[in-house]
Structure 1
Amino acid sequence: MSVIEISTEDQFSELTGSAPSDLLLSLYFHTPWAAPCIKANEVYAKIAVENPSVKFLSINADDHADISELFEVSTVPYFVLIKDDTILKEVSGADPNDFIEALNQVQNVSSTSTSTSTTQPSKPQAPLSTSSSSQPPAQQQSQTVEEPEEKEESPEALNERLKQLTNAAPVMLFMKGTPSAPQCGFSRQTVAILRENQVRFGFFDILKDDSVRQGLKTFSDWPTFPQLYINGEFQGGLDIIKENLEDDPQFFQTALEA
């Protein structure tokens, strides 16, 4: 099965809402400017061909912000596996192999569950929606698959993940909340500065991952947030960015070209 590129929110709602309860859906959130997505695009297309029983959807996170916010996408590439309106697995990061492992894991669990379960009464299907009042399927009380206990992340593994995250986009902002819903005034001001200067940027919501939140303080040797990285190099927090812009109004362009 080939990858279906989502072009409208109505198309997304139709494809997800009409999916049979036993069909596994794979969502892939990407952006054209994030370098890790280049490799992920190729891998995702190949996996789609090798797994015809799964429906693979591809979503430009920039063009479809409402869908991205519905699934609380904080970085790209970002993968979501859904079955029977329930999120079974979410994978974020630059390594597509993590997604392949998650897909195999979910398919194996689903196969085992199908062969041993008894028939259950049918239930009404609630299609996914991108309206502001909707909640993502992960917040439903029923859970059809128990995920294996996650292993504790080693300092080395965390450090490698932080390297990947800080290089996930030419300009990466680690903030509290999202650009559309900042959770602190400093993050809100930083987003406003980036937008005023027409800077395209990736972001990571550090409130969603405490390992990243605490680890980045040591990684960048900076105790507070937001934190801004350009080309993988730490630039500073809000005050430093303001000072750099006062010294050089073309600071962002200069840093990107350095």
Structure 2
Amino acid sequence: MNVQITHKEPKRILNPTGGFLQGYTHSLNPYAGCVYACSYCYVRRMPIALFRKQEWGTWVDVKQGAADRLRAEMGAARRKGTVTIFMSSSTDPYQPVEVQAGITRALLEVLVEEKPDFLFVQTRSPLVTRDIDLFLRLKDRIRISMTIETDLETIRKRFTPAAPPIAARLRALRRIIEHGLPAQAALAPVLPFSEEFPKTLADIVDRVCVDDYFTGDGSGGRRTEKLGIRQRYKEVGLEEWYGPDVHQKVVERLRAAFADHQILLSQEGFLP
């Protein structure tokens, strides 16, 4: 797939939050657009994607000068009080363009200097391990969340063919944990997985977040329905994995390897 990369100067880089991200004062998105183009991504139904006359996953805007903007905005934000940041809410901060553009790392370098009260880093990319040195300087006020929705590559390729392989994500999460950094695996959204998956995760991490289409897409599942995700489950004969009660079944399976306090549901798993 050809991806159009555009460099743009953002008017602002810290954006006030609300709704699902209640508990955070700001979201921080180094890029607009995401080449992982996950079929179920709720951002597909948000204005940033709907009003763009390009297919989601085929374009990325690089926020040029974002670090300088962040440095200025952090000072103002901190003077107002607590600063808690979610990175990122509508893109993956470690998608492939980051290798060359380095916007995410530049932002982290600013945050090491102008420390927020809390920083949540959400990604599905093994590239996140590149910045362990900076994470360690924020160790007491950070959590890294690695999306690992399934352990089945056939399912991953069906729903998120452009996303990194599961094995690479598991290795990255293990490396983060080995450095003593606060981290979790996010089953967000839940995809069909094998009976061995809970133990696989428990061998690496002591905290998992379970999120589904009906609590995590910001509209009670309506955005996901419009994306036709239900039909994808029917096509592979896995309709029992799609519905508002699926997360309850998943929690029961996870209890074979995790204690109740280690399993967090939807919004609580992403709170500061």
Q: Is TM-score (shorter-chain normalized) higher than 0.5?
A: no
When normalised by structure 2's length, the TM-score is: 0.28
When normalised by structure 1's length, the TM-score is: 0.29
